[in-house]
Amino acid sequence: MENLIEVKNVSKTFKVNKRANGIPGMVANLLVPKFEQKQAVKDISFSIKEGEMVGFVGPNGAGKSTTIKMLSGILYPDSGEIKVNGYVPYKQRKDYVGSIGVVFGQKSQLQWDLPVIDSFELLKAIYRVPEKVYQRNLERFTDMLNMGGFINQPVRQLSLGQRMRADIAAALLHSPRIVFFDEPTIGVDVVGKEKIREFIRELNRKDKVTMLFTTHDMQDIEKTCNRLIIIDKGSKVYDGTLFGIREKYGTTRQLDVEFKDNCEIEPIKNVEIKQIDELDGRKKRFIFENKDVQINELMNELLAKYNVRDLNISEPEIESIIRKIYSGKDVVL
Amino acid sequence: MMLKPYFAFAKKSFLKRSAYRFNHLMSIFNTCLQIFIFWGIYKALYGDRTEVDGITMSMVTTNFILSMGLSAVFYVDDYFLPSKIWDGSIANELLRPVSFKGKMIAENLGNAAFNFVFQFVPALLICVWTIGMKPPASPQMFVLFLVSAILGYGVLWSISFAVQMTAFWLVNIWSLTTIKTVFINVLSGSMIPLWFMPEWMRGVLQFTPFSSIYFTPVQIYLGQLSLQEICFQYLVQILWIIVIYFVGNLLWIKGQKKLVVQGG
């Protein structure tokens, strides 16, 4: 399949005014302003095929939103090449943006004072959506996102979850082939998030919409995407499957054991335990590398030597693996 | 239909204005109040005299009603771009497959249309009924007045457009906008009829775009200009629109590369 999105060695730097605190800082800044170059995106390359659903994660300030904005033609990259759907976004903005949809979770594109439906009508006119397509999409989205109850209310009276759903529908009314989501679940409650994820999944599966998706909620990624790109401090640090990240980074496991009585654990033969934590009561937590330890050996040993009441093995969650990648430390659950 | 989206923008801003009814009623009141205040001041200055330097009180009244009435119609949102840069919503604007400048014009015109129907007309009726104004010099002059009023709006719009584009660099342009507004209020004849300006000042003003916003249409309405002069004034207005728009457009092209979206 062809690459629908192609990003090659893209960098972007912002000039930031740096000023010291308080009034002296303000005066100094007025007289001699100091600027600092802040590199938001550093030599990033990746490509996305048609129909893919890719999670795009990274800590705050990693350059996710900047990348999305360059992909959607809002910002000019300083260097490098971007090609989406055959267009160079920032050069052919007006022709290009008709084929994409973008949701900025933090920036509503709805008209604050007007009912949701009026904003939709306006978008229909802007994107020249044929009446039939519009009606079909509207009906479908209203149903899937449960918007029937508030579609005639002014946007300023909506709750955040309602507004977000309306915003998502608004970005998709013109049936774009490519959708960029920039934190579409921010500030939405659990039920709302689930609705949004379901909607996004269905859109990808049924309509073959290609998606790039930034979020801070790993559940969003786990439940929707099969590929993950992680960036940190403007550079790409991981690009691969969700499963692959566990293999690569999530190598430690933990075993929680509750003993019947207090006991000291002696070193176990041939089993290299990295760390044993005392939990409350008579619980202990064994943390070890997957490759070093045969889990059945360890359990046999423990069950044979001690009075064990309960056992519980767990693998690190994606969330903690990501945390590890961000901080560059070993993963501790 | 290429213009369809722009009609939609204009319609939307028209509808938006009716969302706050109290505000709308107060702005009719505001327009009348401004006219009454300036009328009152000049009435007091005229005292018992019927004319000063050949300018009659009714000409002054007509000047105020027309120029302030027009300024109520001539809606330009000076913060159209700056507010969008300041709060980052420029990002959403650039996502639309439409011309940003086209949208700006359309929304302003939508507002202007609203102002014309619901603000200018009521205010005009109230003023004519209370303080009275001169009728146009002739039906022909009235038509020529309308043309020059539209061109005047073009000049006003392009000044605002050029000033707004500096927001790409400055983000907050409140001070620039305020200075611009003061210049327009004082030098375009809407607060001080330009007849009363000293001769040298009027000479200088000839070379600025301000007098062609309100004063030129008013002069035509009152029949003070010959056909030849009117044609010349039209040319001046058109020239200003082209020159100022050109500068603004240059800033617009450069500014987009400079754009920083605020707020992540």
- Tell me, what's the ipTM? 0.73
pLDDT digits (tens, 9 = 90+) for A171-220: 999 999 999 999 888 888 888 889 899 999 999 999 999 999 898 888 88
Q: Are B12 and A126 in contact (CB < 8 Å)?
A: no
In a domain, A15, yes or no: no
CB B34 within 8 A of CB B68: yes
Question: Considering the domain boundaries, does residue A287 fall inside one?
Answer: yes
pLDDT of residue A267 exceeding 80, the answer is: no
Instruction: Spell out the alpha helix ranges (H) of B47-138.
Output: 57-73, 80-86, 90-94, 100-115, 121-130
Mean pLDDT computed over A68-91? 92
Quick check: A113 and B16 CB within 8 A? yes
Q: What percent of chain B has pLDDT over 70?
A: 99
Structural domain that includes position A302: 251-315
Taking phi first (over 0 means left), then psi (-120 to 50 degrees means alpha), and beta for anything else, what does residue A259 get? beta
Extract the tokens encoding A123: 């978008």
Cα B84 from Cα B80, distance rounded (Å):
7
Q: Does A118 touch chain B (CB under 8 A)?
A: yes
- Cα B211–chain centre separation: 11
Chain A interface, best mutation among B2, B6, B16, B96, by max A CB count within 10 A:
B96
Cβ separation A73–B95 shorter than 8 A:
yes
Residues A299 and A217 in one domain: no
Q: Are residues A299 and A173 part of one domain? A: no
Surface-to-core class of residue B44, CB atoms within 10 Å of its CB (0-12 exposed, 13-18 middle, 19+ buried): exposed
Sort out which chain B residues have CB atoms less than 8 A from A72's CB and list them: 94-95
Which of these three, A247, A267, A291, is where a domain ends? A247
The rounded distance, in Å, linking the Cα atoms of B263 and A192 is: 24
Residues of B in Cβ contact (< 8 Å) with A125: 4-5, 7-8
The answer to the question of residue A280 being in a domain is yes
A242 and A256: one domain?
no
One domain, residues A54 and A149: yes
Decide: B62 and B217 in contact? Cβ < 8 Å. no
Q: How far is A77 from chain B (nearest CA, A)?
A: 9
Q: Is the pTM for the entire model greater than 0.95?
A: no
CA distance A295 to chain B (A): 45
Q: Which of A229, A247, A265 is the last residue of a domain?
A: A247
CA-CA distance, B149 to B133, in Å (whole number)? 18
User: Could you tell me if A238 and A228 are in contact, meaning their C-beta atoms sit under 8 angstroms apart?
Assistant: yes
The rounded distance, in Å, linking the Cα atoms of B215 and A46 is 60
Whether residues A135 and A182 share a domain: the answer is yes
What sign results for the dihedral spanned by CA atoms A100, A105, A111, A114?
A: positive
Contacts for A138 with CB less than 8 Å, ≥ 6 apart: A120, A169, A173
Nearest by CB: A98 against B4, B89, B97: B97
For residues A149 and A228, membership in a common domain is answered with yes
Name the token pair of A198. Answer: 């379901």
Given a cut of 70, is residue A333 above it in pLDDT? no
Least Cα distance to A35 among A8, A16, A62 occurs for A16
A277 C-beta neighbours (distance < 10 Å), count: 12
How many distinct structural domains can be found in chain A?
2
We report the CATH number of the domain holding residue A80 as 3.40.50.300
Do B263 and A107 count as a contact with CB atoms less than 8 A apart?
Answer: yes
Same domain, yes or no, for A277 and A259?
Answer: yes
State both tokens at A167. Answer: 């915003």
For residue B173, give every residue at least 6 positions away whose Cβ sits within 8 Å of its Cβ, in sequence order, or none: B82, B163, B164, B166, B167
Confidence of residue A332 (pLDDT cuts 50, 70, 90): very low
Nearest beta carbon to residue A128 from set B4, B99, B260: B4
Residue A28 lies in a domain: no
Residue where one domain finishes, among candidates A207, A229, A247? A247
Within 10 angstroms of residue B186's Cβ, the number of other Cβ atoms is: 13
Question: B-chain residues within 8 Å CB-CB of A129?
Answer: none
Nearest-CA distance B89 → chain A (Å): 7
Is A243 in the same domain as A255?
A: no
Residues of A in contact with B5 (CB under 8 A): 125-126, 128
The secondary structure element, H or E, covering residue B51 is strand B51-52
Statement to judge: residues A261 and A276 lie in one domain: yes
Cα–Cα dist A266/B213, whole Å:
93
Is pLDDT above 60 for B12?
yes
A308/B246: higher pLDDT: B246
* Min Cα separation A215/chain B (Å): 13
Stretch B53-80: mean pLDDT, rounded?
Answer: 89
Kindly state whether A326 is in contact with chain B, defined as any CB-CB distance less than 8 angstroms: no
Rounded to an integer, what distance in angstroms lies between the CA atom of residue B222 and that of residue B142? 9
Are A97 and B90 within 8 A, CB to CB?
no
CA distance B201 to A122: 48
Q: Quick one: A279 and A239 in the same domain? A: no
Percentage, residues of chain B above pLDDT 90: 50
How are beta strands A3-18 and A79-84 bridged, if at all?
Answer: antiparallel
Q: A225 and A131 share a domain?
A: yes
Domain presence at residue A301: yes
Contact between chains at B94 and A73 (C-beta distance less than 8 A): yes
Using pLDDT thresholds of 50, 70 and 90, give the confidence band for residue A329. low
